[in-house]
Structure 1
Amino acid sequence: MENLLLLHGALGSSTTMEPLKQALQDTFLVHTLDFSGHGGKPLPQEPFTMHLFVQDILQFLEQEQISSTHIFGYSMGGYAALILAMHHPECIRSIYTLATKFAWSEEAAQKEIKLLNPTKVEEKVPAFAAALANRHTPQDWKQVMHHTAGMMLQLGQSPILSTETLPKVQLPVRVAVGDRDNMVSVEETLWAYRLLPDARLQVQPNTRHPLEALPVCELSQQIRQFIGQLTVYPSVTH
C-alpha cells in the first residue's frame, strides 16, 4: 500500500483526522501528526509559522522512515503541504487540499483574527472552547489560539503561496473547496488552481468550511479516486 499523510488545520490536531484515517486505512498506509503546539504537543519557544509546520512534516517523515507519500491537507495543512512541495518535491507523490485559504492579505488576516478571541469564544461558543481545551491538553488552548492569530497576521503581511511561488509546485494537486465556505472563496481556490501546473479543481456543493461538514465516506472516496487516477493518467493537467 502507498503512504498517505493527513494534515490537520489551524486549531486542529491528529484526532480531528481520525475518522478519515479509519475510512482510508484499508487502501493506504495512513499517517497523522500533530503540528507543534497542537494536540498536546509543547508550545514552541518561537512563534507559529508555516515554515515551522513544514519542518514538523519533514521530521515526521524522517522519524517514520517515509521516503515519499501522498498528502491530504485540510485548511492550514494544505498550505503547509504546498510549501513543502516547493522545497522538497521528492518527499511527495501528490497533494489533495481541502478548504485551504490562498488569498492572504492584511485585510483577510484581520478578518480571521477577529474570530480568534478566546474570551469571546468561551462566551459565545462554549462547546467549541471545551472541545479545544480537550484537544490541546495539557497545553492552554488560549495560547494555541493566540499563536495561530500571530501566524495568520504574518501570512497576511507576507503570503508564501503567491503568483510567483505556486507555479513551482510541479506535483499533481487537487484543490477542493466548499461552495458555502465562509473563510475560503471559490474564486481564490480557482486562482490557485490556474497557477498550479498540474492541478485539478473540485467544488463541493452545499459545503461549509468545517471538515466535519463533509461526510467522511464521501471525502475518503474522493481521495481514493484522485490518487487512483494518478496511476492511470499520471500527467493529467488543466
Structure 2
Amino acid sequence: MFRSVLTALVLLLMAGPAFSQSEPKGDRVEVNGMTMYYEVSGEGDPLIVLHGAYMNIPTMGAIIPKLAETHKVYALEFQGHGRTTDIDRPITYPNLADDVAAFMDKVGIKKADVFGYSMGAGAGLQLAIRHPEKVNKLVAASVAYDAEGWQPEFRAFIPQMTVEMIVGMPFAADYRKLAANPDGFPALVKKLIALEREPMAWKADVKTLKAPVLIIAGDADVVTLEHAVALFRLLGGGAMGDMGKPLAASRLAVLPATSHTAVIGQADLLHAVIEPFLKGERPKGMFE
C-alpha cells in the first residue's frame, strides 16, 4: 500500500511544472533561401522568441526556459546568426520580419505571441506592421521605432563603426562555435553595421497596430526613456487609470539600474512582467 501511494505521489510531482518541460528540440527549415535553425520547448500556446544582433538562442539565456514553463516556445536564429546560414541579401528589419512570417508558414503556426529583444524586437515590431494577422501579442524589449529614439551617444557612435572594430571584440570568438560558416563573421558584421545606418521612421505604421504591445526598456538602455514613453503613447497608453476608463491594451515596463546588454540577463524580472501581459492579467485598482 505504501509503495503504491509513494509511486502515485512521484507521478503527480512529475506531472507538475518542474517536470513539464522537455529538452529543447532543434530543427532546421528552408526559409527565403536560407537554412534557418530553431528550437522548440515547452507546451501551450505558441510564443516566438527573437534574439538580438550578434546573438543566438543560447545567448538569450534563462528567459527561454522560463517562458517554456507555460508556452510552446519557438526560438529562432536569424540570417547569418547562430546555426542559420547567411545569404546574399542585406539584413533589414523588413527582411527579418518576412523571414519570421515565412518560418511560421513553414511550421504551420497561423498566429502567435512574439517576444523580441533589441534587433529581435525591431523585427517583431515590423512583423506586427507587415503581417498583423500573424501576431497576437508582442513583447518588445529595447526597441525603437525611429532612429531619433537612440541615445545621443549611440547615434554618434554609429558612423564610427567598422568591421575591424567589431571583429576584435571578445564575443566575436564565440561566433565560430555554432556558425554554419565559421569564417562568415566579418560579412555578418558588415551587414549589421549597414542595418544600424538604415533610416528608421515607423511612427505612422506603429499608430496602425492593433496587437497589444508590452514595451520593456532598461532605465539606462540604448533607447531613451522619452522614446519608450512616446512609443507607449502611440499605442494608446499613458492615460490616468482609476477614472472609469479601461486601461490601454499595451503596457510599459522600465527595468531599474539596467543597461541595454543587461536587459536580457534579468530573466526573473522579465518573466514577472511578460507572463501577466501574455495572460491578460493586471493589478486591480481600489475602485474596481
Verify same fold: TM over 0.5. yes
TM-score bracket relative to the smaller structure? 0.7 to 0.9
1:187 aligns with: 226
1:26 shift after superposition: 1.5
Which of 169, 194, 203 aligns to 2:209? It is 169
| 1:49-64 pair list within 5 angstroms | 49-64=92-107
1:126-163 CA distance string (max 9 Å, x none)? x22212343545242221111011122123xxx2422x
1:78 and 2:129 matched: no
| Contact kept? 1:207, 1:213, Cα under 8 Å | no
| Contact kept? 1:4, 1:30, Cα under 8 Å | yes
Deviates more, 1:13-22 or 1:198-207: 13-22
1:143 and 2:187 matched: yes
Which of 158, 162, 168 aligns to 1:112? It is 158
Deviates more, 1:11-20 or 1:79-88: 11-20
Which of 183, 190, 198 aligns to 1:154? It is 198
When normalised by structure 2's length, the TM-score is 0.70
| Contact kept? 2:97, 2:124, Cα under 8 Å | yes
Which of 234, 248, 251 aligns to 1:200? It is 251
Across the aligned residues of Structure 1 and Structure 2, the Cα RMSD in angstroms comes to 2.4
Q: Secondary structure at the match of 1:179?
A: strand
Cα distance in 1 for partners of 2:167, 2:92 equals 25
1:236 aligns with: none
Structure number, greater radius of gyration: 2
Cα distance in 2 for partners of 1:229, 1:9 equals 26
Deviates more, 1:207-216 or 1:170-179: 207-216
The one-letter code sitting in structure 2 at the alignment partner of 1:33 is: L
1:113–1:130 CA distance, 2 compared to 1 (3 A): farther
1:25 and 2:68 matched: yes
2:3 aligns with: none
The one-letter code sitting in structure 2 at the alignment partner of 1:99 is: S
1:103 shift after superposition: 3.3
Q: Kindly indicate which of the two structures has a greater share of residues assigned to strand.
A: 2
1:132–1:208 CA distance, 2 compared to 1 (3 A): farther
2:130 aligns with: 87
How many percent of aligned residue pairs carry the same amino acid?
A: 25
| Contact kept? 1:110, 1:153, Cα under 8 Å | no
2:30 aligns with: none
The one-letter code sitting in structure 2 at the alignment partner of 1:221 is: A
| Contact kept? 1:98, 1:177, Cα under 8 Å | yes
Gapped regions of structure 1 (runs ≥ 5): 234-238
Figure out how many residues of one structure are paired with residues of the other and give that number. Answer: 224
| Contact kept? 2:54, 2:81, Cα under 8 Å | yes
Gapped regions of structure 2 (runs ≥ 5): 1-43, 237-248, 284-288
